[in-house]
Copies of this chain bind each other. A is one copy, B any other.
Amino acid sequence: MESSEATRDRLLQAAGEEFACKGFECARIREICIRASANVASVNYHFGDKEKLYIEAVLEAHRCGPGADEEAVDPMAGPDEQLRSFIRHFLGRVLAMQAPDDWRHRLMLRELLHPSSASDALIRESIRPRFDQLQRILRRFCPEAEVRRLNALAFSVIGQCLHYKMARPIAERLIGPEGIEALDLEFLTDHIATFCLAALGVVPPFDAAGESVREEARSSAGS
């Protein structure tokens, strides 16, 4: 049957969506089957188990996920341009995670918070490469920094980006929907990139407005 493979795929797709937006426990196997126009027993038939289906869905998520991200950063560019580019792409993916068909990223995010047995492959093939890439970029800024510092730097970059996904519901309540709206991809990319580059001592910190403060603060820091 050719429909066998097709059903399997539909199940995987439906499972991905369901797991992504409800989590493993709250996802209903029946709902998945209905979405996939398949029988209730299909999941057990094709995957044996709810958990095995979940793992398959997560693997599928990163398998069919973004692959050309590595090339997104121009290897010939300067380190600051590379970092800016990395942030733009990473942030772009994070902010786009609201899209209904973007269950792959949402699923990966869930794995970030609550790693399951599926996350080994996920880390190996999807997360670590990007993490290493980021570290290679950062290494160019601090060639002699110890590993610990490099890790912390990488987490500082990633943490700022991910926060807009993680804490979005709360952020929205804190600064209002229009406040969130104002923090669009363009602005945030520039903000975080500038923030990090300034922290790395590459570019002057932000706008003129901060200049005066900088002086004041610097003197107070010196005291």
- A interface residues (Cβ-Cβ under 8 A, vs B): 23, 25-26, 78-81, 111-115, 119-120, 123, 127-128, 131, 140-149, 151-153, 155-156, 158-164, 166-167, 169-171, 173-175, 179, 182-183, 187-188, 191-192, 194-207, 209-214, 216-218, 220-221, 223
Contacts and interface: CB of A to CB of B under 8 A. Distances in A.
Contacts of A204: 201
Nearest to A172: B115
A158 B170 CA distance: 12
A115 B162 contact: no
Nearest to A155: B163
State the oligomeric state as a number of copies: 4
A100 B152 CA distance: 25
A214 B141 contact: yes
15 contacts: A23-B25, A79-B217, A113-B166, A140-B213, A140-B216, A141-B217, A148-B187, A149-B209, A152-B192, A159-B163, A198-B199, A198-B201, A198-B205, A202-B218, A203-B221
Nearest to A147: B179
B170 A155 contact: no
B144 A209 contact: yes
B156 A210 contact: no
A143 B210 CA distance: 7
A162 B152 contact: no
